[in-house]
Structures are given as structure tokens and as C-alpha cells.
Structure 1
Amino acid sequence: KTYGYNEEDIIGKHCGVLWGKDSSNEDLRSKLSETTKGVWCGEIYHTHKDESKFPIYISRSIVKDETEIELGIVSIVRDITEKRAREQRLEYMAHFDDLTGLPNRVLFYDRLNKLLSRAKRDNLLFALLVLDLDRFKDVNDTLGHNVGDLLLRMTAKRLINCLREADTVARLGGDEFAIILAGINEPQNAAASAQKIITYLGNPFRVKKDNECTIGASIGITIYPFDGNNADILVKNADIAMYQAKRDGKNRYEFYNPDMNAASFRHFTIENKLREAIKREEFILYYQPQIDINTEKIVGIEALIRWQAPGQDLALPGKFMSIAEETGLIITIGEWILLKACSQNKAWQNTGFSPIPVAVNVSARQFKQQGIAEIVAQVLNETGLDPRFLEIELTERILMHDEELIMANLGVFTAKGVRLSIDDFGTGYSSMRYLKRLPIYKLKIDKSFVDDIATNPGDRAISEAIVTMAHSLQLKVIAEGVETKEQLKVLRSLGCDEAQGFLFYKPLPADKITDILSKGKL
């Protein structure tokens, strides 16, 4: 049965028929025939009746009589096809990524070290690219891990299709890939390949029958021998360059340069200090009043975070919030801001001040997290603040991705009575379609348009267009960064509803706002 023969087919035939004509067995045949110790065992290939090869384990023993005369040879054969398949599977799993079929980290480093040896010997250039997918976590969170896995497989195929056979593309883990570009002539060759990859991956992926998603890729590039002379340094520096590409806007590539080490160290230091700051409760909230342009009465307050590290100056959000967003610490910090702002607003109301809304900025990462609507509801319930007196500020860039999730969350907020506003309006990519569909209450004109509104016709025209459009959609308009009476005069002439800025009040701690409210500025 093992060989596919019937008894009548095989009895009387020479056992060599089982070996077939495979020349690779010649050495083993020789060993078998040269058995001198009476026993030989090993793995060889035998041949089925249909001439297909299969692996066997064979043990051969010489049979002798009592006078040590050789009578013949007894062989015991075991088919090890399944054993070999298991071994090959284990070998594959040790060197290839099971999800994408790409080389894994182990095989990647093996090929990189071999190329390093050759490059050192032959004085060759090569490039190493570290690639991380942009917005992949959003896909996982909104469409599920099965879709995320499909997207990774589709990404792997696109990467293979836009590279040469001599190149290596590997999956290092998660949504991070590494690419070895062997034998380049100049660094610009690596830049061209990186841009080609970004273009390929920028096309929509059809992940479901009626569903497409668009991601991007941030790529860091190192060149041997300029950016490192061993595998670990080249990978580390490419990783640093990739994170710089993410900080510079994503969906781009960056070549490594030594200055990035200092920036990476600063980033690492701030991240660790932020983690400690959360534990030690080093954050405080400042509040900036929002003013009705016509009456100049306070009609709202925006909550703004500050970081007071021991022995350090008060740090503004620009120093640390982008790192908090990138690392995910924004989730914890954002929940703290929301709870603190709502608690303070309720405290002002309990003191007897007329109720006004407090505006809280919510980042893209916060807004897309699972359960954000439940978190807001829990905070409102815990603090006792009426939802009408909470305003969530979103940047308009948030509106351009994951429309279904955004609509669902916005719908929950507005159903509870929470107000929604668009921060920094005019700096992103909003369209009338979004503004018509989404339950927005207010638009905030970005400070960049307000700065020169009294002297720059372009900024005035943009601001006027925003006010006119917003009013046609029954939306309020607020201008931020108002610092001069001339700016206020222009905004008033354009029909802007509200303003905030140093002309009225700087951001102040809660006790200072209490003093202002006590003077009847409402």
C-alpha cells in the first residue's frame, strides 16, 4: 500500500524498483551497500508505482547465521511524508508571516545581514525602508479585525507588485513593513521607490462588496553605508525617519538624518514624562471666555489644557498634545479634560452664575475610539451637567474619514443635547455636503484668517465667505485669536456672531474666571 503496488506487481522484483531512477539517492545507495556494522538507517526518497517521489525513513540490517555468514538484508520502511510536511510547515512559520506570506522579522534580518556582508565586500549601496500604514487602526476599530487582516494581505500584494524580484519586502509586525532595495545606484532610487509605494497604497482598497477604504503610508529611509553599518542601526534609524514622516503629516517619506536622533530622544522623553504627568496629576485647565460680538457679554468658555511639571514653566498644548495624540495618551488625558471641564462648569452654575456652555476640544483619536459617546454620557451623568452646556469642538479634518462612525457619534451627541462645533474652520477640507448633513451648531474661523483680516483682502474675503455660508445653514460663527479693535470691527461688519482672544481675555485659571463671572460679565 505504501508504494501503490499489489502483491503480484512486486513479488520477485529487485528492491531497486522502489528507489526509482533518482540520482540523488546514489550516495545513500552506496552507504546501504557499504553497511559494515550490520545496521544502517536514514531518510531517503523512494518511488511510488506512479513514479512520484515520497520521503521515507529506512532502517537496514544485515541478517547472518550462527556462523556469521550473511544471509541477506532486512529493511524496515516508514513513510514520513506527513512528518516532512510538518517540518516544512514549522520551517515556513519560522521564516514567513502566516497572514501575508511575506518574510517575517527573522528572515528579514537574515537577508539584511547577508546583504550587508556582500555590500561591505563589494562596496555596494543599498536602501532600507521602514513603512507604517496610516489610519490602519481606524480601519480595525471601525470595520473589524477581519477587514484589517484583509487589508494587510492586500497591502502585501501591492508592495510585491511595485518592487523588483531582487528586493525583499517583509512584515515586521502589526501594520509595519520593511523593504530592502538591493543594489541601488544613488539615494534618489530609494526615493523613487518610496514614492511609487505611497502612490500604490494611496489607491482605495475594496475591502467589502460595497465598501472601500483609503489609507496611506509613512516611510523612513536609510542608505548603507551612510546611515549605519549594521542591521540594528539601519533599522533603528529608518524607524526614526518613519516617525518623522508621520509627524510631518503622514503619507510621505523621509530620509534619515542625524538631527532626527535628537528629535526622537526629545519625543521619547516627553512621552515618558507625559505618562508620569498623568499619574501625578500635573495637568491643569485654563479657561478663555467667548464673547457675543454685539453685546460683548460672555456667552461661553473654552477649556484649554496646560501642563505644570515640577520646576518647569507652564507648558502650552503645542508642546505635548501632538505626542499625546500619536502615542494614544490623548485618550486618558482627553477624558480627564472632559471630566474636569464639566465639573467646573457645574460648579459655576451651583454658585449661581447664569449657565453657559463650556467648549472642550476632542481629537481625532478620541473621537474615533470605541465608546466615546458612552464616555461623554457617563461624564455628564457623573457631574450632573446639563448636556446643553457642553460643546464638543472637532477639527474639520476629522469629518473626512470614517463617515459612518462620525455620523453615529454625532447623532448620539446631538440627541442628548450636546452642542457640536468645528474648530479651525477653513484650514482643512470641509465641503458643503458635510456641513449640510452633520448636526453642527457652530463654526470657528481659524486664527490664521483673523490675524490679518483688517489689512489683507484675501483673509477678509475668506472670513466673509465662512460667515455667509454658515448663516445660510443656520450655523453660528465664532472667530478665535481676536487681539485688536480693528479685527473686531471687521468681524462685526461681516456679521460674525462671537469672538475670543486676548482683546477680551487671555486663558485664565478657574479662580480668575470665577472673579470675572462675579463681576456680572454674563
Structure 2
Amino acid sequence: MRDETESTAVGTTGVRAGDGTTDGPSAIGSVDPPPPGLLARAARALPCGRHLPDEQWQQHHRFVLRTLAALTVAVAGYALVAGHSVLGAGGLAAPVAALGTVAALPFLTRGERANVAAVGLMTAAAVVVHVSGGRTEAHFLFFALLPLAALYATPVPFVLAVGFVALHHAVLGSLVHGSVFMHGQSVAQMALLHAVLILLESWACFVAWRHFEDRRELVERLVSERTAELWAQRDELVRLAAVVQCTDDAVFTAGPDGRIETWNPGAERLYGHAAADVLGRHVRTLVAPSGQQLVGPALDSLHEVGSLRVERLHRRRDGSVFPALLTVSAIRDDDGALTGHAAIVRDVTEQKRAQAEAVSAAERLREQAGELTRLALHDSLTGLANRVLLRDRLGAVLSARRTGPGAVLLLDLDDFKAVNDVHGHGAGDAVLTAVASRLRSCVRPEDTVARLGGDEFVVLVPAAHGRDEVGAVAGRLIAAANAPVSWGPETFEVGCSIGIALVDPADGRDPDEVLSDADIAMYAAKAAGRNRFAVFEPAMREHVVAQTQLARDLRTAAGSGQFSLLYQPQVDLRSGRVTGVEALARWHHPARGLVLPDTFIPVAESTGTVDLIDDWALAEACRQLAAWDAAGLPRLRVAVNISAHRLARGDLAPSVGSSARAAGIDPGRLEIEVTETATTSCADEAARTLQEVRALGVSIAIDDFGTGHSSFGRLRVLPVDRLKIDRSFIATLDGRAGAGSIAGAMVAMGRSLGLDVVAEGVETAEQLDALRALGCNAVQGWLFGRPMGAGEIDSLLRSSSRVPAPRRRSPDQPTGRSSRPGRERVDLPAAGE
């Protein structure tokens, strides 16, 4: 192995001896070193040497010391033979003995002892040459001893030995001619000859040494690499052995005949067999009886395929069988001959179970996906197609190339809201389910019946033979919806209104536009009296656009002073005095002029702006009541109509209270009028809201009594003060037919409940006489005064404290009803009669 740095031949101090240590001063360290370039080239020409282990170095050094001892004796003996005295022979052998002794000193470094020993060897050869008188044969001792300096595996002793020979021949050969070369021979010739021989031998030694070192380094590198490979293989085998010992899988090997040779702990745990019980047995014993006949063919196939991966039933020691995944590989020697088999066995019971569960879960997911798809495309309550599926099928109809139009029939139940509000959602769901089933039975299989939501249904007829066929379908649907629906002890009858939009792919409409047209036609059918159908016409859309614009204008009307209140007197029949007024709203549109409640109230309810109108009417009525009080007029009660929408919101009481406080009046001067429908459409919310309002001292009146669905029991639990009989029941009264009329029954009901009764729409003296006879408390109508402004009410109250008795009209005189510009009163907030 090469030293860490290349050794140099000569130097002052610190010359590398090639053994990894720093030597002391060299034998010729006093001379100046040659130029660095020459020294570097000379150093590269020398062998690098290597660091010998201590034991090996000591062994070589002892051999050299023994050689020096033998040379000391040989020099002395040779001197005696050559004729020297004993003392002279001892003196000649003394330098060799001295150098050998110094080379044996233990306190010197290895390099110092090696250098001294090399010089000692050359000194012995020089003494022999001197004793021989310069004989040429004696010079061969230099050549014999010089290679011994190479035993130290470093070039420094060898270079010192060569240098010693060069100095000996050059100096002594010139100064003491007979001491180095024989007399009679040319000193220069002999010196040149010996120099060439010495250099040749040195060169031969160096070359041999260099080649030996190259070969040694190659061998050492190969040995090191191979050793590293073997250690790596050993480590890998150790790791593999650890894996085999620790794995839960069964790992075992078998010979070519199939008999088990090795058995890991995983195999013991899996099969239950200890290694001592199974070694030497055939692998067939591990297989379930049903598969043992397959073992032989499988082992034979390994000769060709090399590896095999199969799933078999294996058997444990206790006889239980389990599914095993078996991986078998052939083991071959360097010549490719089969020497055995290696097997890895894994219990796949859990995997099998997991696979079965995964398959079952996948099947359930497919079923759920199908159910989700069905739910995504069908209504959950009725099972009908939903809006998504309807639009898809309608789009297909619109994009189809065919002749003959189809039709979309949009159906809305007319009285469904009352059923849902009064009897609850259970009753409503029963009605919807029954109607859905009937609609399906009225159409063909290729037609689609869908529920859009709430009580809206759609029937898509892909192909129809003209309007007559579509009308016939609509008639069947209306008849089906009109049939009674039983729900427990209750029976419900709901009608329907149908809007029809004819479908023609050529008109370029999309599904949403077709459904919008059918919706417009449906509202036209409702406006025409319900329980009928209407076919869409373009003019209907213009009406919808107008209503939309009207709704847009309503949103700004209350805040921009476009509304005003008119007041219709209410007369007490016992005193004949005006005891109160009903506030009636009017809309003065900047472009349309006067808009009556029949026109704007339905739009206000549908858009929610009716709440703004309610708040404005309350505040304006309170302000006007305060103005009348300030003017010194008799104390009046002002009735304000409130919508069902506002009643359901639950914030009516705070609004009434704030309006009264802002005007500085007593809330007991106010009366809130609500319709029967408002108290039943949201029964719980209405009762709670009316209780809160009644707690402020405000009176509560049921308006248009007799047209809704109030029951006797319902009236008993509501905080009601007055009943206002609808004008439709007053119109049938005359002086001779009052006692047996419906109005008479209503008066009697109100009196039995302890409520005041007010008759609306009194227009004739005969009606007034009949109401007096029935015991009605108060009346209002055109017979006593039309709705009038606040100033007119002021004048009316100042002119007389009593309303004069109305004159009877002649038979040919038109009634007040015929002279009225349309209805003055609707069942909505701030609406007039």
C-alpha cells in the first residue's frame, strides 16, 4: 500500500521513511539538497514504498541484524585468512559490528535503525573489498548485500546504500587506489565499470521493486474490493436473514425432491409446526388434501419457468384450512442446475374477506348511485320527474326533428294552501301524492308528469294532434284534481288551474322560456276564475310585463308620497253617531293616475311590498287621528286593514306601538282589521301576533266575515272585538227578509260571542231597516257616505253630531253599487270598499 506522501531519496531532516513516521537526520543529511526540480524528478523515479506492520518490520530488521553479525565474523575471518593479525582483523570488523550495534538500539526510530543497518551492510562489503586488495570478485558482495536494504520496503536505506557505494568507489578509489581497485588497472576505467554495474543493478532493483509494488498494490486493491464485496454480501445476507426471521410470512426452502430443508419462525406461526417437526418432510404435507395432487406438476414446472405464483388451500397443524398465496422460485447453482426451491407463503384470508367486502360495498354503492340518480331526477314525495329531468326531456323535444307540436301543461292546485295551513303538512302531502297518482293515470306512457315544487305540476306531451287534443288532456287533469281526497276523517276538495304552452321546435324557444309561458298562462287561468285552463298567447306576456313594471313602481310609491288615505264613516245604529272611520288606501301613480286597490294590492302581496304599505297606512292614520284631536273633533276610532303577510311576520305589535307613540295618541283609538283567511292561513303566528297587538289596547276586527273558513271554536280563542259582515250577505237583505237571512245568523253568532257586529256595504234603506231589526250594532256603506278625504270627515263631523236618516230611493233609482267605479274594498291591507 502506498504511503500517504511520496518519499524522497535524500533530505535534511524529516525524510519520509515510507512507514508513515518522520525519521531523524539521515546519514548524509548534511549536504545541501539538490534543486527542487531535480529532487522531485528523482523522487518520482523511486519506488514509493509502504508502511510495514511493526511485527513484519521487526522480523525483517532482525534478519538484517543477524546478517550484520554474520558479516562481522566473516570480515574478521577473511582478514585473518588474508594475513592480518588478530588485532588487525578485529579492527577491520569493528566498523561493521559498531553499525550493527547502533542499528539494534531501541530508542532510535525505525527509519534511523534501517538507515544505519543499510550503511552497515555496505560497510561490510567495502571492508571485504579493502581486505581483498580491490579484487573484482570481492565487489560482487556489494551486489549481493544491496537488495537486503530493500527489506525495509522504503527507498531511503536503499538509496543510502547506493550512495555509500558511489562515495566509496569515487573517493577511496581515487585516494587509496589499492584499497578499491587492483594495482595495474586504470582507476577511471574500473570506477566507470563499477559505476555502470552498480547503476545497472540499482536500476534493475528499482524496476523489479516498482513492478513488485504495482503488482502488490493491484493484489491489495483486488483483495480490498473483494473483501468489501464479501462484507457487503455478508451484510445483505444478515439483513435478509433478519427479514426472513422477523417476517410474518412463512419462508422455507426445499430440496429438488420437495423435502423441506429450512423453516423460519413465520412458518411456525402460520402452520403451527415447529422446525424440528417439519424438516425433512415433503411440502405436500402443507397442502390441503384437495390440492395435494397439484404439488408434483407444480414442482416439475419450476424446471422451465423458474418461478411460480399460485393460490392454494393449505393446512395447519390443527387441520384447519386457509387460502394461501404461494410464491415458489427455483434455486440453481453456477452451472444452472436445480438445487432446490424457495417458497414464501402468505395467509390471504383477510384479503379474501376484504375483497368480498369491497365487492359487496361496490354493489351497494352502485345501488346507492342508482338511487341517488333516481332521487336527483325524481321528486322524493310523489316519485314524479323533477325539474331537472323535465328540462332534459323538454330540451329533447325542442331539439327533435319532427312534425306536429307538443305541449307543456303547468298545473297549480287552487285551494291547496288552505289545506296545508289548516290541517298541516301531513294532509298537504296526502293531497299531493293523490293528485300525482291521478295525473299519471290521465296521460300516455310516453308523456312526462313532473312536480316542480309545492303544488305545481307539469305534464309534457311530446306530440299532440292540435289544440283539441291538448284541451282534452287538460280537461281530464282538471277532473282528476277535483276528485275528493280522503285523509283520515277529513275529505279535501282542491281544484286546479292549468296553463298550456304549445311546443314547436321551429320557434327557437328553450325549456325555461316554454315553462315561463306555461306559467303565465296558468296565472291567466286563475285570474279568469280558477279551475280551468288557458293557452298561452303573446298578449299574456305583455300583461305580465305590465304587472312587473307595476311591482317595480310599488317599491318606491310609499316613500315618494304617491299613497293617500280615504276614510269611510262607521255609524252606530243605536246613537246614529259617527263613532269611527275605516282608512282606505289609494295610489296616485304619476303616469297611470289613480290605481285602485283591486289592481295594486295583489301585486303588493306577491312582491312583499304590502308590508311597506301597511307601515305607511298605520303611521298616516295615527298622524291624522292626532290632527283631528288637535282640531277639537269628537274622539274617533280609526280602523286600518293589515295583510296576512304582515300578520305572519310577528312584528306588528312593535310597529303599531311605535306609530302611536310617534303621533302621540292612545293605541286604544286604533282598530286592526284582518280577514278570516289571514287568521287561518298562519293560525299559530296570527293568534300570537293578535294577542300582542291586543295587549296594547288595540281593538281587533274580523273583516269580510263569512267569506273565509273561520270556525266557532276559532273565534272563541282569538282576541276579537268586532265582526264585520261581508257586503255580499248584506246585498241580499230587504225589509221583509232579514230574520231568516245569513246576515241574521251572523249577527246572532256575534252577539252570542259577546262581539260587536258591523255590516259593510249598506247601500239601501231597506238593508238598513233589516239590520236594525236584526240588532246589528254599526254599519258603513255608501248609504251614509262614500270614502272621503280627511277634510271632508272634518266637515261632516262639524256640521252635525248625528248622521241624518237616509232617504229611501225610488224603485227606478240606481243603487250606490252601480254608481261606484269598481270595487272599493278588497281583503288586503289599506284596501277600500
Query: Would you say same fold, with TM above 0.5?
Result: yes
For the structure 1 residues 323 and 438, does the alpha-carbon distance in structure 2 shift closer, same or farther, using more than 3 Å as the test?
same
Aligned runs of 1:24-423 on 2, under 5 Å? 105-118=387-400, 121=402, 123=404, 125-131=406-412, 161-162=437-438, 163=440, 166-170=446-450, 172=452, 177-182=457-462, 186=469, 187-197=471-481, 219-222=497-500, 224-225=502-503, 229=507, 230=509, 231-247=511-527, 252=531, 254-258=533-537, 260-423=540-703
Tell me the amino acid that sits aligned with residue 564 of structure 2.
I
| Equivalent in the alignment of 1:462 | 742
Query: Aligned to 2:589, what secondary structure does the other structure show?
Result: coil
Give 1:449 shift: 3.2
Give 1:122 shift: 5.4
Give 1:315 shift: 2.8
Give 1:255 shift: 2.6
Q: Distance in 2 between matches of 1:49 and 1:429?
A: 63
Tell me the amino acid that sits aligned with residue 474 of structure 2.
A
Contact 1:129–1:178 (CA<8 Å) still a contact in 2?
Answer: yes
For the structure 1 residues 172 and 51, does the alpha-carbon distance in structure 2 shift closer, same or farther, using more than 3 Å as the test?
same
Structure 1, 448-457 or 222-231: larger mean CA deviation:
222-231
Query: Aligned to 1:504, what secondary structure does the other structure show?
Result: coil
Q: Distance in 2 between matches of 1:247 and 1:326?
A: 14
Q: Distance in 2 between matches of 1:458 and 1:492?
A: 9
CA deviation vs aligned residue, 1:3-39 (integer Å, no higher than 9, x gap): xxx9x999347xxxxxxxxxxxxxxxxxxxxxxxxxx
For the structure 1 residues 103 and 447, does the alpha-carbon distance in structure 2 shift closer, same or farther, using more than 3 Å as the test?
closer
Give 1:282 shift: 0.5
Query: Aligned to 1:128, what secondary structure does the other structure show?
Result: strand
Tell me the amino acid that sits aligned with residue 723 of structure 2.
L
Tell me the amino acid that sits aligned with residue 323 of structure 1.
V
Query: Aligned to 1:508, what secondary structure does the other structure show?
Result: coil
Give 1:308 shift: 1.0
Give 1:184 shift: 6.1
For the structure 1 residues 458 and 266, does the alpha-carbon distance in structure 2 shift closer, same or farther, using more than 3 Å as the test?
farther
* Structure richer in strand, relative to its length: 1
Contact 1:307–1:315 (CA<8 Å) still a contact in 2?
Answer: yes
Q: Distance in 2 between matches of 1:494 and 1:152?
A: 40
For the structure 1 residues 138 and 386, does the alpha-carbon distance in structure 2 shift closer, same or farther, using more than 3 Å as the test?
farther
Q: Distance in 2 between matches of 1:322 and 1:267?
A: 10
Query: Aligned to 2:695, what secondary structure does the other structure show?
Result: helix
| Equivalent in the alignment of 1:11 | 309
Q: Distance in 2 between matches of 1:195 and 1:488?
A: 43
Q: Distance in 2 between matches of 1:158 and 1:498?
A: 47
CA deviation vs aligned residue, 1:386-445 (integer Å, no higher than 9, x gap): 222111112223344333333222322323221111222233343333333333222222
CA deviation vs aligned residue, 1:245-286 (integer Å, no higher than 9, x gap): 454576x45332425345434433322332242342300001
Tell me the amino acid that sits aligned with residue 438 of structure 1.
L
For the structure 1 residues 386 and 305, does the alpha-carbon distance in structure 2 shift closer, same or farther, using more than 3 Å as the test?
same
Structure 1, 266-275 or 299-308: larger mean CA deviation:
266-275
Q: Distance in 2 between matches of 1:117 and 1:303?
A: 56
Q: Distance in 2 between matches of 1:87 and 1:486?
A: 73
Q: Distance in 2 between matches of 1:52 and 1:448?
A: 73
Query: Aligned to 1:308, what secondary structure does the other structure show?
Result: strand
Q: Distance in 2 between matches of 1:433 and 1:423?
A: 17
Tell me the amino acid that sits aligned with residue 465 of structure 1.
A
Length-normalised TM-score, structure 1: 0.69
* Structure 1 runs not aligned, ≥5 long: 1-5, 14-46, 55-78, 207-211
Aligned runs of 1:480-519 on 2, under 5 Å? 480-519=760-799
Contact 1:128–1:238 (CA<8 Å) still a contact in 2?
Answer: yes
Q: Distance in 1 between matches of 2:669 and 2:717?
A: 23
Contact 1:387–1:418 (CA<8 Å) still a contact in 2?
Answer: yes
CA deviation vs aligned residue, 1:75-104 (integer Å, no higher than 9, x gap): xxxx99999999999988986789998755
Q: Distance in 1 between matches of 2:758 and 2:505?
A: 49
| Equivalent in the alignment of 1:427 | 707
Q: Distance in 2 between matches of 1:348 and 1:254?
A: 51
For the structure 1 residues 296 and 399, does the alpha-carbon distance in structure 2 shift closer, same or farther, using more than 3 Å as the test?
same
For the structure 1 residues 460 and 478, does the alpha-carbon distance in structure 2 shift closer, same or farther, using more than 3 Å as the test?
farther
Equivalent residues, number: 448
Contact 2:408–2:518 (CA<8 Å) still a contact in 1?
Answer: no
Q: Distance in 2 between matches of 1:138 and 1:417?
A: 33
For the structure 1 residues 431 and 122, does the alpha-carbon distance in structure 2 shift closer, same or farther, using more than 3 Å as the test?
same
Contact 2:416–2:455 (CA<8 Å) still a contact in 1?
Answer: no
For the structure 1 residues 359 and 320, does the alpha-carbon distance in structure 2 shift closer, same or farther, using more than 3 Å as the test?
same
Q: Distance in 2 between matches of 1:463 and 1:153?
A: 37
Contact 1:285–1:306 (CA<8 Å) still a contact in 2?
Answer: yes
Higher normalized contact order (CA 8 Å, seq sep 6+, divided by chain length): 1
For the structure 1 residues 264 and 443, does the alpha-carbon distance in structure 2 shift closer, same or farther, using more than 3 Å as the test?
same
For the structure 1 residues 435 and 99, does the alpha-carbon distance in structure 2 shift closer, same or farther, using more than 3 Å as the test?
closer
* Structure 2 runs not aligned, ≥5 long: 1-269, 271-286, 292-307, 312-351, 803-833
Q: Distance in 2 between matches of 1:452 and 1:137?
A: 28
Match of 1:453 among 730, 733, 738: 733
Contact 2:524–2:534 (CA<8 Å) still a contact in 1?
Answer: no
Q: Distance in 1 between matches of 2:398 and 2:431?
A: 27
| Equivalent in the alignment of 2:275 | none
Contact 2:419–2:492 (CA<8 Å) still a contact in 1?
Answer: no
* Structure richer in helix, relative to its length: 2
For the structure 1 residues 372 and 199, does the alpha-carbon distance in structure 2 shift closer, same or farther, using more than 3 Å as the test?
farther
Q: Distance in 2 between matches of 1:468 and 1:153?
A: 38
Give 1:139 shift: 6.9
Give 1:347 shift: 2.6
Q: Distance in 1 between matches of 2:381 and 2:760?
A: 49
Give 1:301 shift: 0.8
Structure 1, 158-167 or 264-273: larger mean CA deviation:
158-167
1:474 aligns with 2:754: yes
Give 1:205 shift: 11
CA deviation vs aligned residue, 1:337-374 (integer Å, no higher than 9, x gap): 12211221133223333322101112222222232333
Contact 1:277–1:283 (CA<8 Å) still a contact in 2?
Answer: yes
Cα RMSD, aligned residues only: 4.6
For the structure 1 residues 446 and 85, does the alpha-carbon distance in structure 2 shift closer, same or farther, using more than 3 Å as the test?
closer
For the structure 1 residues 176 and 485, does the alpha-carbon distance in structure 2 shift closer, same or farther, using more than 3 Å as the test?
closer
Q: Distance in 1 between matches of 2:615 and 2:682?
A: 22
Tell me the amino acid that sits aligned with residue 473 of structure 2.
N
Structure 1, 306-315 or 128-137: larger mean CA deviation:
128-137
Contact 2:419–2:427 (CA<8 Å) still a contact in 1?
Answer: no
Q: Distance in 2 between matches of 1:116 and 1:459?
A: 63
For the structure 1 residues 365 and 217, does the alpha-carbon distance in structure 2 shift closer, same or farther, using more than 3 Å as the test?
farther
Give 1:292 shift: 1.5
For the structure 1 residues 416 and 473, does the alpha-carbon distance in structure 2 shift closer, same or farther, using more than 3 Å as the test?
same
CA deviation vs aligned residue, 1:175-194 (integer Å, no higher than 9, x gap): 75544245567232233235
Larger radius of gyration, structure 1 or 2? 2
Structure 1, 348-357 or 279-288: larger mean CA deviation:
348-357
